[in-house]
Amino acid sequence: MRTFSIERKTAETDIKLSLNLDGKGESTINTGCGFLDHMLTLFSKHGCFDLTVNCVGDTNVDYHHTVEDIGIALGQAFLSALGDKKGITRYGDIILPMDESLILCAVDISGRAYLGYNLEVRAKKLGDYDTELTEEFFIAFAQNAKITLHINKLAGKNSHHIIEGAFKAVARALKKAVSIDDKNKDAIPSTKGVL
C-alpha cells in the first residue's frame, strides 16, 4: 500500500494528515473551514484516496494559513506515498462537467513543480471562505508534490460549481496518473530513468 502520514506544526497551524493512494475514497476531514472540509472530502472520494486531515489553525485571523499549510502537507504526503514511482501511469487528464461549469485538468507526475491555473471565479467569498485561497491551495500542493498541474475553466458561472469541479477534476486526473501500468509495473515512466 502506498501510504504516508505527516504531522506539520508551525506557529500558525497544527496538522495531522494521513493519505492512502490505494484506498476506497474514505475520509475524515476536520480543518476548521467547512468549505475546505467539503472540497477535501470530494477530493478523497473522486480520487479513491483514503484521507484523514485534522488541523487546528489560526482561523481567528482567516483561513489563509490553514488552506496553504494543508496544501503543503497533502503535497508532501502525496510525494512520499508515491515512493520511487515505479510502474505509475504518470499522466492523467479529464474534462469534468459540474452542472454549467466545465473544468479541464491535466497532471504529470514529473518531479517538476508547476501550476497552470485559470479559474475565473466571480464570488470573492463562499460562506466565510475566500475563493482566492483555492489557487493558494493548489500552488502549495503542486510545489510539494513536485507535479505539473494544469487547471482550466472552460465554462462556468457559479463559483461553488467551478471550485468543486476543480477539486473533483484534480482528484480524478491524479487517480489516473498514480494508477499502476501493469505492462510496465517495474519501470520508471521516463527515458531519464528517474522522476
Domains recognised in the chain with CATH numbers: 3-184 (3.30.230.40)
Q: Which residues contact 193 (CB under 8 A, 6 or more apart)?
A: none
Please compute the mean of the pLDDT values over residues 51-69 and round it to a whole number.
97
Look up the pTM and report it.
0.97
pLDDT at 145: 98
For the chain, give me the number of helices (H) and strands (E)?
4, 10
DSSP-assigned beta bridge partners for residue 6: 17
pLDDT at 38: 98
Please write down the long-range contacts of 186-195, taking CB distance under 8 Å and 24 or more positions apart. Answer: 186/86, 186/87, 187/86, 187/87, 188/84, 188/85, 188/86, 189/85, 189/87, 189/88, 189/89, 189/90, 190/90, 194/111, 195/85, 195/90, 195/109, 195/110, 195/111
Question: Tens digits of per-residue pLDDT, 142-176?
Answer: 999 999 999 999 999 999 999 999 999 999 999 99
Question: Tens digits of per-residue pLDDT, 86-101?
Answer: 999 999 999 999 999 9
Q: Which three cell numbers stand for residue 3?
A: 501510504
